[in-house]
């Protein structure tokens, strides 16, 4: 059975033609799946009976199973989804941000091992396919009645998107397809901890999402202590890649900075961060730590966060302080984890495909 959930439009046209039917039917089929959220071929009434019968015997449209759906007091929703092989991931819906936003996973677990992130404690279990990445969007949009409304996507769920490069880019092309959801690249933000070769590869793509870089420190020493990847690609390597990255007019690279009390939140850290970002079209997004059991850091108080932000603003940087959403259901940044799925050792995690 061919899984149509993982096919781009041209691949779908080829498949329809292989069944002995005309290629234009693929656009009708694509619209049913992506614009209307319909996966039952029998309900696709503008397709001929013969084609529907052929699809029923040769194809399927995979959709994850919703294992659990939690709703936060602030309206954030977390979906625990089970894949066909039984592996589970988490996706998050964040309303009114100011647009509706889906936080989507690209891997089961994560190989990056950042010291403040629960997902990293899972290790990397496996990559998600393009079908599994896009299915999260399709499922959330259908469940939340947003298929015909505007929403944003952030690839900031479980996993490092650039560590699963090919599937991630295929997923973005599928979501961008005009006869489907037609999601403009400006509505997509891809977050990376700094896989420099993949950042350079992304810079050559015709479909260019917004880029967010997880920096989290203002010195090589501090970043090396909390972001293991810094041992392979230094902070300066990452900054240099950002300077090479093409940006459209009025667009900036977002630098995510998780604030850890007593680790990277001093006034001196703020002044050093200004120097690090000199020459980069940057916006800094400060994220006071979402503390959790097993994470050996504390959240700085609001006064410390505000003073840090003021130093950046006074020196000309664009700054936002992210309001934590969904903390009561463990849906906030760095809190996504599904226990008991098998994990790699720390050594394997650091070495995996880097």
DSSP-assigned letters across all residues of 34-55: HTS----GGG-TTS-HHHHHHH
- State the DSSP H helix or E strand holding residue 81, giving kind and residue range, or none if neither: strand 77-82
Longest dimension (CA), the chain: 70
CA atoms of 239 and 246, how far apart (whole Å) = 13
Q: Which of 210, 135, 123, 115 is nearest to 160 (CA)?
A: 123
Peptide bond into 98 cis (omega under 30): yes
How far apart CA 298 and CA 264 sit, in angstroms, is 11
What is d(CA 188, CA 169) in angstroms, rounded to the nearest whole number?
12
Q: Compute how many other C-beta atoms are within 10 angstroms of the C-beta atom of residue 320.
A: 12
As annotated, the active-site residues are: 90, 333
Cα atoms in the Cβ-side hemisphere of radius 13 Å centred on 44: 28
Angle at 139 between CA 135 and CA 140, to 5 degrees: 120
Closest Cα partner for 269 from 231, 329, 309, 328? 309
């Amino acid at each position: 059975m061919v899984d149509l959930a993982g096919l781009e439009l041209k691949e779908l046209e080829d498949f329809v033609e292989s069944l002995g039917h005309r290629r234009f039917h693929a656009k009708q089929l694509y619209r049913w799946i992506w614009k209307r959220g319909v996966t039952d071929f029998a309900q696709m009434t503008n397709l001929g009976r013969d084609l529907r019968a052929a699809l029923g015997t040769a194809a399927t449209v995979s959709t994850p199973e919703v294992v659990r759906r939690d709703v936060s007091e602030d309206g954030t929703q977390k979906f625990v989804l089970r894949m066909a092989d039984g592996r589970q991931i988490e996706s998050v819906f964040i309303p009114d941000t100011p647009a509706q936003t889906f936080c989507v996973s690209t891997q089961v677990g994560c190989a990056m091992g950042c010291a403040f992130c629960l997902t990293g404690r899972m290790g990397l279990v496996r990559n998600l396919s393009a079908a599994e990445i896009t299915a999260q969007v399709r499922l959330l949009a259908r469940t939340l009645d947003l298929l015909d409304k505007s929403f944003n996507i952030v690839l900031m769920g479980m996993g490092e998107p650039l560590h699963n490069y090919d599937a991630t880019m295929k997923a973005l092309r599928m979501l961008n397809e005009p006869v489907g959801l037609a999601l403009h690249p400006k509505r997509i933000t891809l977050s990376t901890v700094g896989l420099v070769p993949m950042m350079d590869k992304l810079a050559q793509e015709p479909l260019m999402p917004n880029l967010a870089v997880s920096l989290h420190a203002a010195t090589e020493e501090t970043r090396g202590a909390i972001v293991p990847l810094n041992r392979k690609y230094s902070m300066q390597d990452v900054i240099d890649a950002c300077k090479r990255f093409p940006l459209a007019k009025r667009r900036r690279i977002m630098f995510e900075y998780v604030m850890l009390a007593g680790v990277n939140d001093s006034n001196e850290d703020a002044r050093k961060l200004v120097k690090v970002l000199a020459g980069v079209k940057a916006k800094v997004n400060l994220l006071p730590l979402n503390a959790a059991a097993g994470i050996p850091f504390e959240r700085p108080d609001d006064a410390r966060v505000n003073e840090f932000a003021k130093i950046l603003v006074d020196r000309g940087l664009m700054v936002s302080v992210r309001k934590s959403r969904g903390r009561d259901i463990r849906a906030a940044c760095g809190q996504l984890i599904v226990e008991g799925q098998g994990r790699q050792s720390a050594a394997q995690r650091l070495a995996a495909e880097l």
